[in-house]
Amino acid sequence: MRYRQYLKLEKSLSDNTVEAYLADLDKLLSYLLDENISFRKATPDDLETFSAGLKDIGIHPRSQARILSGIRSFYRFLLLEDYIRQDPAELLESPQVGKHLPDVLTVEEIDSLIGAIDRTSREGQRNRAILETLYSCGLRVSELCNLKISDLYLDENFIKVEGKGSKQRLVPISPRAVNELKNYFPDRNAGLIKPGYEDFVFISRFGKNISRIMVFHIIKQLAEQIGLKKTISPHTFRHSFATHLLEGGANLRAIQSMLGHESIGTTEIYTHIDRNRLREEIIEHHPRNNRKRHAF
C-alpha cells in the first residue's frame, strides 16, 4: 500500500505509529463503505458527519483528535499523489483536548529519590545513573533504554539520542550525570552482557538492555521509600527537566530541540505549568493577597 510507504519513508514514522494510523483510517473507510461513498469522492460534510459520529459513540476527545489527524494525513497524501483534486479534510477540525498538567518534581525531590538508592546493592550505581540521566537530559524512557555507549560523548558533555521516527538529536549532559555514568561503567562491564547487547548503556541483570517496565518499577519503589505522594513515572523526570529549564530562563525553542518535539505546540505545555506556579507564588506572596497584612 503506497500510503503505508508514505508514512514510513516520507514521514519517518515508527512501525507502531504507522499501524495506528492505518487502524484509525480503517474506521473511516468502513464508515464510507457502509454509506456507499468512495473515499475519493468524500465531501467535507461526509467527514464532518463521521467526526460527529465519533463523539456520539463516546470516543474520548484525545482519541478523536488522533483519528482525525490520521484522516487529514491520508487526504494530504491523496492530494500529493494526484488521486484527488481537492482535499475534503482541509478544514476538518479536531475536538478541543484539555491541557493536562503533569506532576513535576522539585530538585530537592529528585535529589531525595536518587539519595534513597542503596549504593551497596547490585544495581545501585546503575539506578543512580539512570535517574540522573533521565533528569539531566530530559529523555523519554524508550530513549534511555536504547541509549548506546557509542552515542556518548562524555568528554564533550553531549549524548546522541534517537527519538521518535528514528530522528537523532544531540543533548547536553550534566557533569553530575557524567560522573554517575562513569561510576557505573566498572559494575556494568564486570557483569553479564549477552551477545548483541554490548553497546547498550544500561544493562539488566539478565544481560540485555533494561526495559521500560523495569525503569518504571525502580522509580515507583523509590517514591514509596521516601513517602512521595505525587504520581510519578519515568516521564515525570522529562517534565521536570523541561519545567526547570523554563523556570531558569531557557528559550522555549531550545527546550523544544532538547526534548525532540517536532512541534513547538507540544513544548508549550510547560509554559502552562510555569504560569500555574507563578499564579501560586503571586497568591502566596503578593502584598495584596497577604491576609496577615490585613488581619488588623
Per the annotation, the verdict on 272 as an active-site residue is no
Whole-angstrom Cα distance, residue 132 to residue 153?
Answer: 16
Calculate the dihedral angle through the C-alpha atoms of 262, 267, 268, 274, rounding to the nearest 10 degrees: -170
Please pick, among 8, 27, 160, 164, the residue that the annotation labels catalytic: 164
Per the annotation, the verdict on 270 as an active-site residue is yes
Whole-angstrom Cα distance, residue 26 to residue 36?
Answer: 15
At residue 168, φ and ψ (nearest 5 deg) are -100, 150
Please pick, among 72, 128, 238, 239, the residue that the annotation labels catalytic: 238
Per the annotation, the verdict on 41 as an active-site residue is no
Per the annotation, the verdict on 164 as an active-site residue is yes
Per the annotation, the verdict on 140 as an active-site residue is yes
Which strands, in side-by-side order, build the sheet including 152-153? 152-153, 158-162, 168-172
Please pick, among 72, 126, 128, 140, the residue that the annotation labels catalytic: 140
Per the annotation, the verdict on 261 as an active-site residue is yes
Select from 110, 59, 117, 69 the least CA-distant residue to 93. 69
| Helix axes of 124-137 and 212-226: crossing angle, nearest 10 degrees | 100
Q: C-alpha cell of 161?
A: 539520542
Residues marked active site are found at 140, 164, 235, 238, 261, 270
